[in-house]
Amino acid sequence: MIASFVVLESEGGFNPLDVNAGSFIWTLVIFAIALPFMWKVVFGPITAALYERDVKASEAATAAEKAREEAAKSAAKVEVALGEAQAEAARHLATARERAEARESDIVEKAKREASAMIDGARTQIQAEQEKALATIRAEVVELSLSAASKVIGRSVNSEDDRRLVKSLVAEQQDKS
């Protein structure tokens, strides 16, 4: 390989390691002339594209942050709404429980009143039947007493005065007992 450089140099070829002052100046002049054109055509669009990409990235980051804040606010609102809904459900449940307890109390009280009324009615009916039975027994006692008295006396004891007398005697005996 070294041999090939030697051959090129002897033949008058290009050597990149050989720096000539004239070609260096011309290279700088050409570069200076081409720089505004490259700046306008190449570097300008690249710079604009990079700037535009930075702006879009910044806008996207801002939008993402705003969306995150909105999501946090929405989550907070949902939590508040959920808390309110749970509180409302608890209030409805408490109200329903209170109404059910009041209804139960009313039903029990009504049943007690009806049972008491039935017991009072039964007692009244029993009392009436008892008095009716006692009146029947008293009448029978009066009739038996008059019949016995008739047999003992040997005459008929059927007058109204006799009946009143026997009834008053039976009533006195009942009052004593």
Q: Quick: pLDDT tens for 98-119.
A: 999 999 999 999 999 999 999 9
pLDDT at 24 over 70: yes
Does residue 174 contact residue 154 with C-beta atoms inside 8 Å? Answer: no
Instruction: With respect to residue 16, please indicate whether it lies within any of the assigned structural domains.
Output: no
Please, are residues 150 and 174 in contact by the beta-carbon 8 Å criterion?
no
Residue at 13 is within a domain: no
The answer to the question of residue 11 being in a domain is no
**What pLDDT score was predicted for residue 153?**
73
Sequence letter at residue 36: P
> In the chain, how many domains are there?
1
7 located within any domain:
no
Structural domain contains residue 60:
yes
In this structure, which amino acid lies at residue 4? Answer: S
* Burial class (CB within 10 angstroms; exposed 0-12, middle 13-18, buried 19+) of 82: exposed
The answer to the question of residue 62 being in a domain is: yes
What distance in Å separates the CA atoms of residue 49 and residue 106, rounded to the nearest whole number? Answer: 83
Most confident region among 37-46, 91-100, 126-135, 150-159 by mean pLDDT: 91-100
Residues in CB range of 145: below 8 A, 6 or more apart:
166, 169, 170
pLDDT of residue 3: 46
Which pLDDT value is given to residue 145? 76
Give φ, ψ of 159 to 5 degrees.
-75, 165
- Domain assignment present for residue 35? The answer is yes
For 18-162, strand residue ranges (E) read none
Q: Contact 134/142 with Cβ under 8 angstroms?
A: no
Range of the domain at 93: 21-176
What is the maximal distance between C-alpha atoms in the chain?
194
Q: Which of 128, 124, 127, 138 is CA-nearest to residue 173?
A: 138
Residue 138 lies inside a defined structural domain of this protein = yes
Tokens of 37: 């054109």
